[in-house]
Amino acid sequence: MNENLSELRKQFEAELAETKLNVKEAVDALRVKWLGKKGQITAMMKQMATLPAEERPSFGKLVNELKQSVSERIENALEEAKKKALEAELEQGWTDTSLPGNGIPAGSTHPVYDVREEIIDFFSQMGFAVDTGRDIETDWYNFEALNTPPDHPSRDMQDTFYLGDKVMLRTQTSDTQIHYMETHKPPFRMIAPGHVFRVDNDATHAPMFQQCEGLVVDETITFAQLKGVLQIFMNKLFGEGVKTRFRPSFFPFTEPSAEMDVSCVFCGGKGCKRCKGTGWMEIGGCGSVDPNVFKNCGIDPEKYTGFAFGFGLDRIAMLRHEIPEIGLITSNDQRFLSQF
């Protein structure tokens, strides 16, 4: 029987040598063949029942030694197979760990914010105060004090978000001018940047956008001075070569009133698809302050005159950066914002 154990040991050594030790499945198969319930070692243990009682202890000892040796050799082979498999996997998907990690994209200021800050900086250097006002306004400050009483036809032009009886989201930053005139004595000059809200939403309009309005009040303010200030302002925004023109218009809080156009920033005033062949693009409204507005704020219109103007910051940003659709400005799309 001892000879059988010696032959069995030699057989295991031969099969172990032929097994692909770098393949885990092959080593597992060898383990099952030798150590499984129907394996070679188990079969030898069962033969002990056929031996005389005095031979069983010595035979059992030899079988256990063989089992322990086979088990250790197979466990070592399994560890080696796992190691080889891991090395192969790492080699296939090798990564240079000395490379820098994935960077977090750096943010940048929004194009509308850039325009807002540039406008504030420009007018601050000209001595203008800055007042942002409030988003929620009453009917008095948003309409009536601006010479727009309840029965005034110009109210039909305003699509307003009402929050309650005579309370609304402001449709213009002109309301801030009323607050300012009530709390400050002339002479003064101020601008009012901020958000405004209108029931409007298409490719060129949004229900919420940013405006900046300006107001100058003193004893000898003229429309000619208004034109001069706005020409310098447009040169700052669009370059020294830009031209301006003023078209008669109507706003209830200014008289006379005008729409201001600038020469098309895309074609230089020659006429293109963007300016509809006219060579001009509308940029904002302006005019001399209506005497009734002064009266509503407790300012003597016989002593003081003034001018006011207003521009859409989103529109200026669209013109400066050739943005085709206003929805992109509020899209929060990193692909769009990363261009600025």
pLDDT digits (tens, 9 = 90+) for 99-148: 888 887 777 888 999 999 999 999 999 999 999 999 999 999 999 999 98
Comparing CA positions, the residue from 72, 1, 79, 82 lying closest to residue 34 is 72
Q: Give the pLDDT of residue 108.
A: 81
The last residue of one of the domains, among 40, 57, 92, is 92
Amino acid found at 117? E
Domain boundary among 92, 120, 136: 92
Give a yes or no: residue 163 inside a domain.
yes
CA of 174: how far to CAs of 97, 108, 285, in Å? 59, 30, 12
In a domain, 322, yes or no: yes
Residues 284, 164, single domain; the answer is yes
Q: Model confidence at 246, in pLDDT bands (50, 70, 90)?
A: very high
Q: Is the pLDDT of residue 165 over 90?
A: no
291 band by pLDDT with thresholds 50, 70 and 90:
very high
Backbone torsion region of residue 325, taken as left when φ is above 0, otherwise alpha when ψ lies between -120 and 50, otherwise beta: beta
Q: Do residue 134 and residue 66 come from a single domain?
A: no
**Looking at per-residue confidence, does 38 or 297 come out higher?**
297
Whether 1 has a pLDDT exceeding 60, the answer reads: no
Strand-pairing partners, residue 211, are 194, 312
Identify whether 104 is part of a domain.
no
Residue length of the chain? 340
Per-residue pLDDT tens for 312-327? Answer: 999 899 888 888 777 7
- Hey, what amino acid is at 154? S
**pLDDT over 70 at 309, yes or no:** yes
The verdict on 281 and 168 lying in the same domain is yes
CA 335 to chain centre: 9
Tell me the residue range of the domain where 135 lies: 111-337
Give, in order, the Cα–Cα distances in Å from 92 to each of 54, 121, 203, 278. Answer: 59, 58, 51, 64
CA of 52: how far to CAs of 2, 6, 65, 67, 194, in Å? 14, 20, 20, 22, 105
Q: Residues 181, 214: contact at Cβ < 8 Å?
A: no
Helices (H), strands (E): how many in the chain?
A: 11, 10
237 and 287 together in one domain: yes
Annotated binding-site residue? 219: no
Last residue of a domain, one of 59, 92, 125: 92
In a domain, 231, yes or no: yes
Q: Do residues 124 and 267 share a domain?
A: yes
Give yes or no: residues 195 and 310 share one domain: yes
Which of 15-24, 210-219, 272-281 bottoms out in mean pLDDT, i.e. has the lowest?
15-24
pLDDT at 38 over 80: no
Asked whether residue 213 is domain-assigned, the answer is yes
Residues 27 and 76 in one domain: yes
pLDDT over threshold 80, residue 88: no
> pLDDT class for 251, splitting at 50, 70, 90?
very high
Same domain? 85 vs 157: no
265 CB contacts (<8 Å, ≥6 apart)? Answer: 238, 242, 281, 319, 320
Cα first-last separation, the chain: 88
Q: How confident is residue 78, by pLDDT bands cut at 50, 70 and 90? A: confident
What CATH number did the domain enclosing 278 receive?
3.30.930.10
Partners of 162 in the β-ladder: 168
Rounded to 5°, angle at Cα 289 from 230 and 175: 90
Three-state DSSP class for 106? coil
**Could you give the CA distance from residue 204 to residue 201 in angstroms, rounded to a whole number?**
8
Are 63 and 203 in the same domain? no
Q: pLDDT category, 23, cuts 50, 70, 90?
A: low
3-state class (DSSP) for residue 289: strand
Looking at the fold, whether 84 and 147 belong to one and the same domain comes out as no
User: What total of structural domains would you count in the chain?
Assistant: 2
Kind plus residue range of the DSSP H or E element containing 194: strand 188-197
